[in-house]
């Protein structure tokens, strides 16, 4: 059985976004800040980073906040 998140991450459109690489990172971070959603797999695939702490896993808002803060700390602007 495949999880809903894994199914979404394997969607061709999601994979094309990942394939765009670093230029889409600020766009994804802006979207996470505006409306948190499941962009974490894409961000981790593109950047190789994972700022989400174990206790934040599964908590969409906290995960989004961790990524947005990571982006700011890394100098991304959106």
Phi/psi of residue 58, each to 5°? 85, -5
| pLDDT tier for residue 2 given thresholds of 50, 70 and 90 | low
CA 43 and chain centroid, separation: 4
For residue 54, the model assigns a pLDDT of 97
Kindly state the helix (H) or strand (E) to which residue 10 belongs, with its residue range: none
Q: What pLDDT digit, counting tens, does each position of 16-53 carry?
A: 999 999 999 999 999 999 999 989 999 999 999 999 99
Phi/psi of residue 76, each to 5°? -70, 145
Could you give the 3-state DSSP secondary structure of residue 62?
A: helix
For residue 1, the model assigns a pLDDT of 52
**What's the mean pLDDT when you consider all of the chain?**
94
């Amino acid at each position: 059985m495949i999880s809903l998140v894994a199914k979404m991450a394997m969607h061709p459109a999601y994979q094309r976004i990942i394939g765009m690489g670093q230029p889409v990172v600020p766009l994804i971070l802006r979207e996470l800040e505006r409306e948190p959603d499941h962009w974490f797999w894409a961000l981790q695939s593109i950047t190789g980073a994972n700022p989400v702490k174990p206790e934040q896993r599964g908590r969409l808002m906290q995960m989004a906040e961790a990524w947005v803060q990571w982006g700011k700390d890394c100098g991304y602007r959106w």
